[in-house]
């Protein structure tokens, strides 16, 4: 067995793992990144595309935003559509913050290029990663690289491999407490070669269910439909998708939705999930490995970046001074913001999605919430501060050191 050493073994080459590796190198800390999928798969994997202003600022500081600044679409508001009316939410006017539309896979491409150019040890197609000795001072990761068994001795392991990854499953039963909520609906997501019908996002509340009009570029639209939980993509041919999107999104006096070839479609279950603490021994969980939020408020990628910002700073402190306090305080620093994002994502899900059949009371509550958000300046400002991430940034840590 080939034996290697590194400071931090990072499992997962999504945006969290790649960003952590980049930041560690800036701090002079060696790492190895292991990804079970191929590079092509990782770069093509379509995910969220809304970056909060604080996320963009952090990527700029890290030297990773050149293409994002050239190609990302800057938004200062979005539109609610309900009751055949349109109401604009001017969140920049209310908060001073903008958001960027920039596909997660594009950020991943930027990060992979940066890591490759820096000569990082970034290995794809590594399917059998096995963290060991996490509760000891000498953890290791075993895997197979290019057909050769390898053991990587390290100081710490960073689990950035998502909800279904091996990192969290390597923790002994009972060592972590998990909290979970499942929702009675799902999203049918569509990527289409069609110009967006509007310059800003459209959140449509309709009697047949929620719909979202988003975009990835001036030529590519990203669209979502509320469907039943467990729905199959096979039940949604392109013709049915476009018909339902027109029904839920089109209103009199607004540009009609443009159609085009469907490039990709998938059904995504909505769930909320949090692990406490976000660490075990020498293992630190970040991003979807530690928490999942419903996609309604687009907080997943932004939460992952927030985790990595805290974790990278803690590693830097440890290797520069020997102080493990910030690492020990990692969960306490991150979890309040995680729960704040969970609360807003849950609230926004209830604001937008059609309640389950027969819940007339819930429909009336939904209408009251929409009227408040679109007509009360105080409610609109509170919503906007949550939407752009400002409220989460103001959430204090639970003691410990960030």
Each residue's pLDDT tens digit, 188-245: 999 999 999 999 999 999 999 999 999 988 999 999 999 999 999 999 999 999 999 9
**46 SS3 class:** coil
**Class assignment of domain 2-75+92-180+271-393?**
alpha beta
Residue 400: pLDDT band with limits 50, 70, 90:
very low
Give me the pLDDT at residue 398, please.
Answer: 64
Are the C-beta atoms of 24 and 16 separated by less than 8 Å? no
Tell me the β-bridge partners of 227.
186
| Domain boundaries for CATH 3.30.9.10 within the chain | 182-270
Q: Where in the chain is the domain with CATH 3.50.50.60?
A: 2-75+92-180+271-393
The mean per-residue pLDDT over the stretch 10-26 comes to 98
Q: Would you state the CATH architecture of domain 182-270?
A: 2-Layer Sandwich (3.30)
- The model's pLDDT over 256-301, given as tens digits with 9 standing for 90+, comes to 899 999 999 999 999 999 999 999 999 999 999 999 999 999 999 9
The pLDDT assigned to 254 comes to: 86
What digits encode the pLDDT tens for the residues 114-143?
999 999 999 999 989 999 999 999 999 999
Q: Where are the beta strands (DSSP E) in 235-380?
A: 262-276, 279-280, 283-285, 291-292
Strands laid side by side in the 130-132 sheet:
2-5, 148-153, 140-145, 130-132
The whole-angstrom separation of Cα 301 and Cα 279 is 19
Instruction: State residue 302's pLDDT score.
Output: 97
What pLDDT, on a 0 to 100 scale, did the predictor assign at position 357?
73
CA 234 – CA 265 distance, rounded (Å): 10
Residue 51 has pLDDT above 80, yes or no: yes
Span 337-359, mean pLDDT? 93
Please state the rounded mean pLDDT for residues 25-45.
95
Contacts of 23 (CB under 8 A, 6+ apart): 62, 308, 312
Closest C-alpha among 326, 333, 13 to residue 158: 13
Cα–Cα distance for residue pair 242/253, rounded to 1 Å: 19
Q: Assign 397 a pLDDT band (cuts: 50, 70, 90).
A: confident
What pLDDT score does 42 carry?
A: 94
Residue 21's contacts (CB-CB under 8 Å, 6 or more residues apart) are 10, 31, 33, 115, 120, 122
Mean pLDDT for 371-377 is 96
Of all residues in the chain, the percent with pLDDT exceeding 90 is: 91
pLDDT of residue 320: 98
Active site residues: 75, 203, 295, 299, 387
Which tops the pLDDT comparison, 48 or 191? 191
**Coil, helix or strand for 384?**
helix
Q: Percent of the chain at pLDDT above 70?
A: 99
């Amino acid at each position: 067995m080939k034996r290697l050493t590194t400071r931090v073994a990072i499992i997962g080459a999504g945006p969290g793992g790649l960003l952590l590796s980049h930041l560690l190198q800036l701090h002079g800390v060696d790492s190895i990144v292991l990804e079970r999928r191929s590079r092509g798969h990782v770069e093509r994997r379509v995910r969220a595309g809304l970056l909060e202003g604080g996320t963009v600022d952090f990527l700029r500081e890290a030297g990773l935003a050149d293409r994002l600044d050239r190609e990302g679409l800057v938004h200062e508001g979005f539109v609610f559509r309900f009751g055949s009316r349109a109401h604009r939410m001017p969140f920049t006017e209310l908060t001073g913050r903008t958001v960027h539309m920039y596909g997660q896979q594009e950020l991943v491409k930027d990060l992979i290029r940066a890591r490759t150019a820096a000569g990082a040890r970034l290995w794809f197609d590594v399917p059998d990663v096995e963290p060991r000795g996490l509760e000891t001072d000498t953890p290791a990761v075993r895997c197979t690289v290019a057909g050769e068994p390898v053991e990587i001795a390290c100081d710490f392991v960073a689990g950035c491999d998502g909800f279904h990854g091996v990192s969290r499953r390597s923790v002994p039963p009972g060592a972590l407490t998990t909290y979970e909520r499942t929702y009675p609906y799902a999203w049918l997501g569509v990527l289409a070669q069609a110009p967006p019908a509007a310059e800003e996002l459209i959140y449509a509340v309709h009697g047949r269910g929620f719909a979202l009009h988003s975009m990835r570029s001036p030529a590519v639209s990203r669209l979502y439909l509320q469907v039943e939980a467990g729905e199959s993509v096979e039940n949604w041919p392109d013709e049915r998708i476009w018909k339902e999107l027109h029904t839920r999104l089109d209103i009199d006096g607004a540009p009609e939705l443009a159609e085009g070839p469907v490039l990709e479609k998938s059904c995504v279950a909505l769930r909320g999930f949090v692990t406490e603490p976000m660490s075990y021994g020498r293992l630190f969980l970040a991003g979807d490995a530690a928490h999942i939020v419903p996609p309604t408020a687009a907080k997943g990628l932004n939460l992952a970046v927030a985790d990595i910002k805290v974790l990278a700073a803690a590693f830097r402190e440890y290797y520069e001074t020997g102080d493990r306090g910030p690492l020990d305080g990692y969960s306490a620093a991150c979890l309040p913001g995680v729960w704040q994002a969970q609360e807003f994502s849950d609230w926004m899900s209830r604001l937008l999605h059609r309640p389950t059949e027969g819940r007339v009371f819930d429909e009336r509550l939904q209408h009251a919430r929409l009227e408040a958000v679109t007509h009360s300046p105080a409610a609109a400002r509170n919503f906007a501060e949550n939407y752009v991430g400002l409220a989460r940034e103001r959430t204090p840590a639970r003691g410990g050191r960030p």
